[in-house]
Every structure is written in C-alpha cells, then in structure tokens.
Amino acid sequence: MAQVQSTTLFLRLPVEIFYEICDYLDLKTILLSFRYVCRDFHRITNDYNRYKIYLNTLSKHDIQRIYRMIQPKNINCLHIWFINKEIIQLFLSLFPINQFIRLKMLTLWNIEEFYLREILLHLATISSLRSFSIYSVKQSNISDEVSIHLSKLLLQSSLRSIRLMLNFKEDFSSFSLQRIHMNSCTDDQLISMINNCPSLRRLSLYSCPMISMDKNFNKSSLTHLEFYETKLSIDELESILRLTPLLTHLYMNNSKSRFNCFQRLSQWEDFIQINLIHLHTFQFSLTCEDYRINHIGLLLDAFRTSFWLKDKSWPITCELQCWFPWSQLTIYSSSNIQTFFPHCFDYKTIFCSTSTINNSWNVFLAANHNAFAYHTEWYRSILSPFLNKLSELALQIDDILSIQSLKYFLSRSNILNFVTSIWIIIDHPKFNDFKAIQDLLNISMYVNSVGICSKYGYMKDLIDKIFDRCDCHILNQLKIKTDDLSFMKWTIERVKDVESFKFLHYYSLPTIWTELIEWLTLKHDRKFSFEHDQYSLTITFHSHIEVANQL
C-alpha cells in the first residue's frame, strides 16, 4: 500500500521535472526504456518537446520508429551527418525540415550543396532557430544562390549563434547574432562583423586575414575573441584589440609565427593594462622557426614579471624541437609540463621544455638512426645555452646503436654533469641490453632520481637487471609510468634502497592511489608519507620520523 502511495505521489510531480530527466537521457533510452515504465511516462514522452536527434547514430529502423513515436514539432535539436545517402533521404522524406517548427539547433556535417540549398529554403519558415552550424561541405566553394540564402538566414531575429566552416564571402549584418564562428573570412567581412553586429559577444575565426590598417573599425562589445592560425601581424592584432575594451577572453594560435611576435607579446603588460583592463583569460600557442637560441632566455624572463605570474596567473611554457637541420620554438599558455614529462611529446631527436614558473629545463633525447653521431656539433650548439639550467633528462633507447650514439653524445656535451634526474624510455619490443643502461646510470654522478617507462610490458625484468648492478644507494627517488597496482607493490618491495617512489600516468587513478596507500598502511612496517595530484602519487619512506596517519 505504501509503495503504491509513493508511486502516486511521484507521478504527481510537475511534468517539467520529468522533462529535465529526459534532457539527460539519449533518444533511444527515452523511446525504448523510459517510455514503457508506465502509462504516465508514455504520455510524457508523447508530449516531451526537447528531443535531440543525432542522425549518425540511427538506422533505417530507428528512423521509422521515431516517425511513429515523435512529432517533428517536438524535436528542438537536430544533428545531420551526410554520410549514408539512404539514411538522409529516408529521414528528410519522413521529416521535411519545415515541419520542425520548434527547432532551436541545427548542425550539418559533410553536406552536399544540393541538400544545403534545400535545407536553407525550408529554414526561412522556422522562426525558433537559435543556433545554426555547418562543419563541412563536400564542395569547397558554395554557389551564389546558397550564399544569398545564408545571408537571409543571418537576418532572422531568433538566431543567436552561427558556425560556418565553409567559404562564405558575403558581409554580415545582424542585430541578434551573439556568436560567430568562421572557417575563414575577408578583411571586409571582419569589419562587417564588428561594425554591423551590435549584439555580437563571441567571435572565433580560422585563418584570419591580414587587414589594411586604414580600415574603419568601430569599437566593439566583444567579450570573447579567438583567432586560429591567424595571419594577422602583431600591429594588426593590436589595432583590433584596441577596439575591444570589454574583452574578457582572448585566444590565438599560429603555427607559422615570427620570433618578433613572441618578443612583442612578452611586452604586452602595458598594452593589456591600458586597452584590455577586463581581460582575465589569455590563452595562446605560437610557433616559429626564425628564433635565435641565445634570445630564448631573455624572452622567458620578460614573461616572469609579477604581472604575468601573480597579478594575472598566466604562466608560459616554452618548447624547443630539433631534428637536423630543422628546429622550431613554441610558446603557449600552460604550466603542466612537469606532470607529463616526458611521455606526452611527439618525439624529435631533441625536445627541450621549460616554464616561466621555474628556471630549469627538461631535455628529451631520442637517438634515432644514429643522429647524434653524425650531427654532434649541431646538437651541442642547440643545448649549450641550457646546460647549466638542466634538471631532468629523458633518454629514448631502442637498440644498441642508439645507446652507443647517446653515450657518445653525452660524453661530448657534458650533459650528465648537470642533470639530477633521468628518465629511461625503452622503445623496442625485444630490447635486452640492460648492461648499457646500467653503464649510463653509473656514469651519471649527480643523478638522484631515475624514471623508467616502457610500453612493451617487461618492466619487472628492466628494474631487476638495472638495479642489480647500479649504485642504487645514491638514488633518492624512482619514478615509473604505470597503472598496474600489483606492479607498484612489487616495485616497492623489490627496490628497497630507494626512499621515494613516484607513480605517474596520463589519466587520473584515484582508486589505485587509495588502494596502494591502504596496502602500505596494512602490510608495510616502514613509516611513510605521501602526496598526490590528478596524475601522480609520490610515496616517501622515513626511517626515524613518525608520520601521522594521513588516511
């Protein structure tokens, strides 16, 4: 009796609550599960008017079922992938676009111009559309007819957001648009967006063109501005930003930038304080090849002022990639290189990284194809400015030749006189020359921390053979990339001369971290402390210090 009464009370809840529940369910769950719980739920699904359709997840049978169960007026979000023509033709024959009278969001992927023209014609009769996106078209250029229909769509008073990843060349004029995301645009289009769209708050542009400095721009109410692969010069960029005094978010990237742009950017403290006083999020990623190696230190020092690090909390990461005779320098707004070093990089022969929150460099060396033996002096010239600031060194080893090449280069460059931490990365499925690794570690006189990484699953043999004959008593820490709990336990038991262990991985492992700490607490006599973040767990054993229970 009580259960029946509870069910009755539950069904008396406002229907909007059940609509909110359906908002978090996918289409098939609503139609095949939720709908059949009871008669009231069946009625709710008939009246529910916020259905989201993702056409790429549906079969012909699914579409026919939807046709029987859902009225087009109850669909408010539609994503169409033009991959399977039979699916598209069936869907559009059963659901003409002009029947979606409450449609708020429409997204089109890989569309042919014929379908795009037909859809745009029908959209003219829909007054509810708030967001329209075209992510790709099969033809790079669209016809004048389609451009005209798109221009008419922009004038709809309901439209708030548009994304056009195609070559649309018409000017913009809209009193309602708040967000524009464009694949490319002309300088006249950029001016029209800023001058003729008074409600515009977010603007994202790919391949933004160079602009004439004498163009007439009005002051803008933009709060978010994003440039992807921008071709703007630093002068042009500053000219635009002076007209966006309300900007709170700025993002830009360019894989073909110039070093003078880096230098100007590092001097933006006054520019931001005068022209962008509301800016609180500044993200960028810039890459150049025309840098001077001796100027990198001065560039980074300019980003180490209290304005960048304390007032704004905008630390900068710097990366240098080298593969004879090519090299490139990248700076970007991030500071988490310490957590992921050295496992997340696209391996080049030399990869150097640092951050403005510290003054030390991490260096990755991959001895591919005996590169160091053939171009020793060139690589030495790359590393020489950083030698006295090296902290962590990673060595990728795949065969005996790579070890010989590394040993030769290390002996000529004096790197091992500076580093205190080494990562050994085994990148060969049948590698077995562990003595060479032992020799490398034994000649590293100042190293007190060793990291080990291999994707080929013989980590136990690696640790056994390396630490059998190495001078482990000089090591303070052993770091290992793994997500295997049993291997973590084995490592702690096997390498007893090391006082600290750090386990790392790409993704968060909170459950494994907890289980390992519980195991240590219950099974281990040694006193220890620990600290962890999202991607790593560090355990430190103490001989004479009592550590409070941290669990």
Residues 375 and 518 in one domain: no
Quick one: tokens of 440?
A: 């490398």
Helices 459-469 and 485-494 meet at what angle, rounded to 10? 10
Task: Indicate the pLDDT class of residue 2, thresholds 50, 70 and 90.
Answer: very low
Residues 323 and 429 in one domain: yes
Residues 515 and 385 in one domain: no
Answer whether residue 441 is part of any domain. yes
Q: Name which residue leads in pLDDT, 349 or 214.
A: 349
Answer whether residue 534 is part of any domain. yes
Range of the domain at 500: 480-551
Residues 404 and 457 in one domain: yes
Answer whether residue 395 is part of any domain. yes
Among 111, 174, 178, 176, residue whose Cα is nearest residue 146: 111
> What is the residue-averaged pLDDT of the chain?
84
Residues 361 and 405 in one domain: yes
Answer whether residue 105 is part of any domain. no
CB atoms within 10 A of CB 248: 16
Quick one: tokens of 26?
A: 């996918």
Q: What is the CATH number of the domain that holds 541?
A: 3.30.1370
Least confident range of 272-281, 367-376, 505-514? 367-376
Chain Cα centroid distance, residue 532: 22
Of 450, 475, 500, the one marking the end of a domain is: 475
> What's the pLDDT at 292?
87
Answer whether residue 536 is part of any domain. yes
Answer whether residue 258 is part of any domain. no
What average pLDDT does the segment 16-21 reach?
Answer: 93
Radius of gyration of the chain (CA): 30
Residues 370 and 497 in one domain: no
Least confident range of 3-17, 232-246, 348-362, 447-461? 3-17
> What's the pLDDT at 389?
84
Q: 107-140, pLDDT tens digit by residue? A: 999 888 889 999 999 998 899 999 999 987 777 6
> What's the pLDDT at 214?
61
What average pLDDT does the segment 250-279 reach?
Answer: 94
Of 457, 475, 493, the one marking the end of a domain is: 475
> What's the pLDDT at 1?
46
Quick one: tokens of 350?
A: 């030399």
Least confident range of 68-77, 214-223, 485-494, 514-523? 214-223
- In the predicted model, is pLDDT for residue 442 greater than 80? no
Q: 380-389, pLDDT tens digit by residue? A: 788 888 877 8
Answer whether residue 512 is part of any domain. yes
Strand partners, 543: none
Residues 515 and 534 in one domain: yes
Residues 416 and 323 in one domain: yes
Q: Under DSSP, is residue 247 helix (H, G, I), strand (E, B) or coil?
A: coil
Task: Indicate the pLDDT class of residue 171, thresholds 50, 70 and 90.
Answer: confident
What average pLDDT does the segment 8-36 reach?
Answer: 88
Residues 468 and 485 in one domain: no
> What's the pLDDT at 248?
97
Quick one: tokens of 75?
A: 């669909």
Q: How many domains does the chain have?
A: 2
Torsion angle in degrees (nearest 10) through CA of 86, 90, 93, 97: -90
Claim: this prediction has a pTM higher than 0.85: no
> What's the pLDDT at 269?
95
Task: Indicate the pLDDT class of residue 469, thresholds 50, 70 and 90.
Answer: low
> What's the pLDDT at 342?
63
Q: 505-546, pLDDT tens digit by residue? A: 867 677 888 999 999 998 777 789 999 887 889 999 986 544
User: How, if at all, do strands 179-182 and 202-206 pair?
Assistant: parallel
180, 202 Cβ separation under 8 angstroms: yes
Of 460, 475, 490, the one marking the end of a domain is: 475
Please give the Cα distance from 508 to 367 (Å, whole number): 31
Residues 6+ apart with CB under 8 A from 16: none
Residues 327 and 470 in one domain: yes
Residues 510 and 378 in one domain: no
> What's the pLDDT at 195?
86
CB atoms within 10 A of CB 539: 23
What average pLDDT does the segment 12-30 reach?
Answer: 91
Please give the Cα distance from 205 to 282 (Å, whole number): 16
Residues 344 and 469 in one domain: yes
> What's the pLDDT at 545?
47
Residues 6+ apart with CB under 8 A from 394: 341, 342, 362, 363, 364, 365, 422, 423, 425, 451
Answer whether residue 109 is part of any domain. no
Residues 6+ apart with CB under 8 A from 29: none
Q: 34-66, pLDDT tens digit by residue? A: 999 999 999 999 999 999 999 999 999 999 999
457, 429 Cβ separation under 8 angstroms: no
56, 79 Cβ separation under 8 angstroms: yes
Task: Indicate the pLDDT class of residue 471, thresholds 50, 70 and 90.
Answer: low
Whole-number percent of the chain with pLDDT over 90: 44
- In the predicted model, is pLDDT for residue 359 greater than 50? yes
Q: 529-538, pLDDT tens digit by residue? A: 999 887 889 9
